């Protein structure tokens, strides 16, 4: 599994187009082959964090080069974000725990 960690801060002049674009990217990403899941969080200081899980580097490459995603990336750099950091991680180990009812 590959995890993408996207840390960002919105630019002060970001507008409602950001929310529409982000919602579209959420929907589109979920349709991509190899997509597993994603979640987004916003810290009290305004930093945003999105974690995205894909099955493989090949699946991420397809997502990264999707035309709508490429257009959203351009908007991100030119309009939406004051800064961002993208980190792609290969999962070395995973451990899970789930308490069963009863």
Domains belonging to the chain, first-starting first, are 2-90 (3.30.70.100)
Predicted local confidence at residue 37, as pLDDT:
97
Tens-digit pLDDT profile for residues 16-64: 899 999 999 999 999 999 999 999 999 999 999 999 999 999 999 999 9
User: What average pLDDT is seen over the chain?
Assistant: 95
Q: Give residue 16's pLDDT.
A: 85
pLDDT, mean of residues 63-90: 96
Q: What is the pTM of this model?
A: 0.88
Q: Return the closest-CA partner of residue 59 out of 20, 90, 92, 13.
A: 90
């Amino acid at each position: 599994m590959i995890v993408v960690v996207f840390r960002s801060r919105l630019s002060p002049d970001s507008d409602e187009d950001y929310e529409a674009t982000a919602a579209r990217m959420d929907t589109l990403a979920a349709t991509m082959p190899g997509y597993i899941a994603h979640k987004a969080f916003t810290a009290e200081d305004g930093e945003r964090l999105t974690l995205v899980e894909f099955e493989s580097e090949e699946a991420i490459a397809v997502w990264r080069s999707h035309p709508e995603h490429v257009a959203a990336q351009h908007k991100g750099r030119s309009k939406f974000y004051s800064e961002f950091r993208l980190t792609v991680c290969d999962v070395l180990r995973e451990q899970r725990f789930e308490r069963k009812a009863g």
